[in-house]
């Protein structure tokens, strides 16, 4: 690991000012950033910790939904969102192990946008809004491919706003060593229709399955998915499973998520 300067501002304004320095990089839970620094794959000159800013933490009701501060650890989301958005709380409670859930944050996960991370599926399926220090970004506009987002240089996620669905469920087939999603599906049913988001499967990262959404909006039952399928051509293919396998799992897990939600 290279030498670096570490600062822990107590306000959002101070954090933004610190990130204006050349070579500065935000640090939230550090569950991805710190390992890459140890491997010398990343060498920031300054780490700006966001964990000392009170306004970036907490779970609360608001505007008919749930607002979650970007620096809120997964374990806190699992506990405090349980009575508001159970499917989201269950997702948070299944991320990594207790150590990861005590340090990792929702904002850090979304800023990193790992193609197999859990939170992107919840955000996209819920039609959530990512609020930064500069603007509000709709979930459909936020995710822009593997490890790529709409965030600009120096832009900080402040909170994520989730509208509460009528019914929802997250089903993950996890890689047992990392506990990342080998493939996972989040299904959310709203008055205006059903949204289906899949993580862990595509080379482009999290995505919505439009055909399944249309079928489930017409009839919220697993049977309507029988005639649908996804191509394995652009799916992740590795030692854990081929693209065709992951494409098949998308359908299997979507059926399970609909059953769980219903």
34-38, 45-49, 82-86, 110-114: the lowest-pLDDT one: 34-38
- Average the pLDDT over 67-96 and give the result: 97
pLDDT value at position 95? 95
Whether residue 1 is predicted with pLDDT greater than 80 in this model: the reply is no
166, pLDDT greater than 90: yes
Cβ-contact 243, 185 below 8 angstroms: no
Mean predicted lDDT score pLDDT of the chain: 94
For 11-15, 166-170, 194-198, which range has the lowest pLDDT when averaged over its residues? 11-15
Binned at pLDDT 50, 70 and 90, residue 72 comes out as: very high
Q: In which order are the strands placed within the sheet that holds 167-174? A: 167-174, 181-190, 193-199, 207-208
Per DSSP, the residues of 105-126 read BHHHHHHHT-TT-SHHHHHHHH
**Residues whose CB is less than 8 angstroms from the CB of residue 64 and which lie 6 or more positions away in sequence, other chains included:** 163, 164
pLDDT of residue 187: 98
Q: Which domains does the chain have, with CATH numbers?
A: 5-49 (3.30.43.10), 54-163 (3.30.465.10), 167-261 (3.30.390.50)
Residue 27 or residue 246, greater confidence: 246
For 1-30, what is the mean pLDDT?
Answer: 87
- Beta-carbon contacts of 46 under 8 Å, excluding residues fewer than 6 positions away, are 4, 5, 6, 7, 18, 21, 23, 24, 25
Q: Which three-class secondary structure state does DSSP give residue 247?
A: helix
List, for residues 204-246, the tens digit of each pLDDT value. Answer: 999 999 999 999 999 999 999 999 999 999 999 999 999 999 9
Least confident of 18-22, 103-107, 111-115, 207-211: 18-22
DSSP 160: E
């Amino acid at each position: 690991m290279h030498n670096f300067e570490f600062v822990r501002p107590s306000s959002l304004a101070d954090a933004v000012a610190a990130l204006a320095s050349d070579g500065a990089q935000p640090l939230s839970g550090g569950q991805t950033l710190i390992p890459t620094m140890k491997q010398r794959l990343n060498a920031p000159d300054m780490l700006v910790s966001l964990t000392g800013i009170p306004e970036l933490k907490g779970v609360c009701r608001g505007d008919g939904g749930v607002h979650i501060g970007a620096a809120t650890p997964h374990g806190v989301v699992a506990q405090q969102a349980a009575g508001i958005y159970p499917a989201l709380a269950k997702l948070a409670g299944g991320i990594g192990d207790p150590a990861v859930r005590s340090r990792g944050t929702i904002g850090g996960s979304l800023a990193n946008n790992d193609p197999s991370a859990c939170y992107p599926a919840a955000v996209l399926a819920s039609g959530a809004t990512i609020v930064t220090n500069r603007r509000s970004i709709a979930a459909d506009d936020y995710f822009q491919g593997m490890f790529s987002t709409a965030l600009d240089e120096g832009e900080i996620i402040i909170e994520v706003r989730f509208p509460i669905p009528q019914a929802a469920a997250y089903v993950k087939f996890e890689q047992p060593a990392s506990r990342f999603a080998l493939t996972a599906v989040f299904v959310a049913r709203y008055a205006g229709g059903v949204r289906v988001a899949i993580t862990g499967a595509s080379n482009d990262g999290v995505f919505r399955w439009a055909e399944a959404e249309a079928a489930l909006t017409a009839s919220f039952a697993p049977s309507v998915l029988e005639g649908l399928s996804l191509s394995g051509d652009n799916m992740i293919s590795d030692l854990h499973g081929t693209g065709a396998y992951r494409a098949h799992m998308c359908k299997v897990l979507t059926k399970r998520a609909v059953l769980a939600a219903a």
